[in-house]
Amino acid sequence: MSARDNILARIRQNRPQASALPDIHAVPFIRYDDQFEAFATLIRNLGGDAVQLQDGQSVADIVAARWPDAGRTVDLTVAEHEEVDDPHAWHDVDVAIVPGQLAVAENATVWVSHPDNRFRSIYFLTLKLVLVVPREAMVDTMRDAYARIDMEEHGFGAFISGSSRTADIEQSLVMGAHGAMAALVIFV
């Protein structure tokens, strides 16, 4: 028997006894009286924002009011939208308006999963990300979210939360380090 096999055999002999997993259904989970308020408060603390579309308003109206001097804007929520086959083609997008399928109040995240899977780079290359989510697609917790999403639906999905930032380099806050510098969630 090799030294490696000896070591592995001794590890297996001294493995601790398995313990039972906790019953996650026995624990009461978070429920929010006002899911939108919980979501909006948290995303604002993360450097983003959330608004509800009002009667007579359009997503384009909100975006134009927020960023009147925006450069290239790509709206993937409309039927006639810009198509690209090369993910690098999104490198100069200033504002990306994309559909979100589900929002989670407890951590202000939005589940995105685009059916043709060609647009995923836009979520991370744009300077300003606008996620458009149906109002009725809000859940309280990640546990609720995982119960509603289908991980096999399109081959790609991600939870996106707030604007991107990091402070791990010399403890200096850097916005947009791993994605959009600004995030706006519009509930429709």
* 15 within a domain of the structure (yes/no): no
Which pLDDT does position 47 carry in this prediction?
82
**The two three-digit tokens of residue 43, written as one number:** 């995303």
Q: How many CB atoms lie within 10 A of CB 173?
A: 11
Look up the pTM and report it.
0.79
CA 116-106-33 angle, to 5 degrees, is 115
Q: How many domains does the chain have?
A: 1
Q: How many CB atoms lie within 10 A of CB 109?
A: 24
20 belongs to a structural domain: no
Residue 29 per-residue DSSP state:
P
The single residue listed with the structure tokens 């924002």 is 49
Could you tell me if residue 72 is inside a domain? yes
pLDDT in tens, 123-136: 888 889 999 999 99
Low-confidence ranges of the chain (pLDDT < 70): 115-119, 151-155, 163-169, 171-179
